[in-house]
Amino acid sequence: MASQQLAKNFKQSVVAALWLSFLTMPLMVIRVDTVEKTITWRWMHLLWMLVGSFVLALVWYFLMDRRDRGGANDGNLNTEAAPSRFSIWLNNPRVARPLMAFGLLFAVAFPFLFSMYQTNILISALIYVVLGLGLNITVGLAGLLDLGYVAFYAVGAYAYALLNYHFHLGFWAVLPLGGILGAFFGILLGFPVLRLRGDYLAIVTLGFGEIVRLVLQNWDAFSFGPSGISNIARPGFFGVTYSVSQATTYIYYIMLAFVLLTIFVTARLKDSRIGRAWLALREDEIACQAMGIDNTKAKLLAFAMGATFAGFMGVVFAAKTTFINPASFTFMESAMILAIVVLGGMGSIPGVILGAFLLMLMPEYMRAFSQYRMLLFGATMIVVMVFRPQGLIKARRKIYKVNTKPAGQA
């Protein structure tokens, strides 16, 4: 049986490889310059394509067979599979607590152990952890696909940059303001899209993100256009000014505190009344309404909560880089944050954290692959959706156990 299956997969893969090579032939092989009237032929690419697509097709069909035979993994987010031995071991408090303590200790000691360059990379990763957790509220918990999330990030960043430029307001004064502005814009976006279903919502939020970026790019008098704003002040500490490396360490600790706070807040939110309302909203909007949940309020809150974190992070981002321009806030950024949430596992806090570290640190340490980064992101999003829609670490639903022992026997 198995060999028959293998032969079938082999044949299918050969067909797939030939088909994909035919498809990609013009774009991969031929390159024309219509001004110089020259044509470059790159036949080597065709060979790579044949071999590569054959191998990928083989893997694809193998995984597809496994998926179809498994049955449990049919894209349904709710099927409860038995937890693996690893996750049981990891969830044992005697293992988990020392592990967490060690992780925290390592995080606290990090700037003293490694160079400023490494610390800077880690700050970016931490920023994306918070962004991912924020988007996780909107997408993972409430099931509202927001493709313009980066707009709120931009709002926070520009709020700090402009207030600092015009009024010399400091980091700590603008930080809460950034969050509030983010929430305000979240509600502003939320109102018109309340009545829309998932896919419309995706497009409108995408359009909104683009509008914000285009306005920032074209309204020179307000945002200084494509050239952006430079010389933004780093965060201060009661009038003490730091050198660059000290400031980096300082921002690192601010971010670390922020991450811990965000984890705490989102974890508590998830099991709260409003968090359960979001989950209900995600599963079935009509049933949710029938149960007496105010859909409008729940949706607006999800948008606002998610946007708040993006607003905070915008302020930190501006303070960290001391320079911002609209090019930092393109759709690709939104797509990347979404990829973090999807890859890590929608609704799962440890998953999103893992996703952020993976997606942010991998390109840093694999510079050679950096131009293939977005290509891999795209492919990953498809593969994850097809084979593991619950993400790397699956979100766990809280289980309430009811004691069914009859009262008399107690």
Asked whether position 367 contacts other proteins by CB under 8 A, the answer is no
CB of 2 to other proteins, least distance (A): 22
Asked whether position 371 contacts other proteins by CB under 8 A, the answer is yes
What is the C-alpha separation between 128 and 234, in angstroms, rounded? 19
What is the C-alpha separation between 233 and 171, in angstroms, rounded? 8
Nearer to other proteins, 13 or 248 (CB): 13
Asked whether position 264 contacts other proteins by CB under 8 A, the answer is no
What is the C-alpha separation between 331 and 206, in angstroms, rounded? 8
Nearer to other proteins, 236 or 363 (CB): 363
Judged by CB under 8 A, the stretch of 164-172, 235-243, 362-370, 377-385 that binds other proteins is: 377-385
Asked whether position 20 contacts other proteins by CB under 8 A, the answer is yes
What is the C-alpha separation between 158 and 329, in angstroms, rounded? 11
| Nearest of 344, 343, 352, 350 to residue 306 by alpha carbon | 352
Three-state SS string over 329-380 comes to: HCHHHHHHHHHHHHHHCCCCHHHHHHHHHHHHHHHHHCHHHHHHHHHHHHHH
Nearer to other proteins, 70 or 198 (CB): 198
The tokens describing 252, both together, are 């690192």
Residues 341-360 that bind other proteins (CB under 8 A): 342, 346
Bridge partners (DSSP) of residue 40 are 31
* Near other proteins by CB under 8 A: residue from 2, 3, 37, 240: 37
CB of 148 to other proteins, least distance (A): 10
Query: How many residues bind other proteins, per CB under 8 A?
Result: 66
Asked whether position 258 contacts other proteins by CB under 8 A, the answer is no
For residues 249 and 117, the answer to whether their CB atoms sit within 8 Å is no
**226: amino acid identity, one letter:** P
For residues 313 and 127, the answer to whether their CB atoms sit within 8 Å is yes
What is the C-alpha separation between 355 and 340, in angstroms, rounded? 5
List the x/- string, 162-201, binding to other proteins by CB under 8 A. ------------------------------xx-xx-xxx-
List the x/- string, 77-96, binding to other proteins by CB under 8 A. x-------------------
Asked whether position 216 contacts other proteins by CB under 8 A, the answer is no
* Near other proteins by CB under 8 A: residue from 13, 17, 21, 45: 45
Judged by CB under 8 A, the stretch of 72-80, 233-241, 292-300, 308-316 that binds other proteins is: 72-80
The SS3 call for residue 4 is helix
Residues 322-341 that bind other proteins (CB under 8 A): 331-332, 335, 338-339
CB of 211 to other proteins, least distance (A): 5
Judged by CB under 8 A, the stretch of 89-97, 123-131, 153-161, 381-389 that binds other proteins is: 381-389
| Spatial CB neighbours of 174, under 8 Å, sequence gap ≥ 6 | 159, 160, 163, 164, 315
For residues 235 and 254, the answer to whether their CB atoms sit within 8 Å is yes
What is the C-alpha separation between 278 and 20, in angstroms, rounded? 42
For residues 205 and 338, the answer to whether their CB atoms sit within 8 Å is no
| Nearest of 297, 296, 298 to residue 277 by alpha carbon | 298
Question: Which residue is listed with tokens 């309340």?
Answer: 194
Q: Given the rule CB under 8 A, which residues bind other proteins?
A: 19-20, 22-24, 26-28, 30-35, 37, 39, 45, 64, 67, 74-77, 139, 143, 145, 147, 192-193, 195-196, 198-200, 202-204, 206-208, 210-211, 214-215, 218, 286, 331-332, 335, 338-339, 342, 346, 371-372, 374-375, 377-382, 385-386, 389
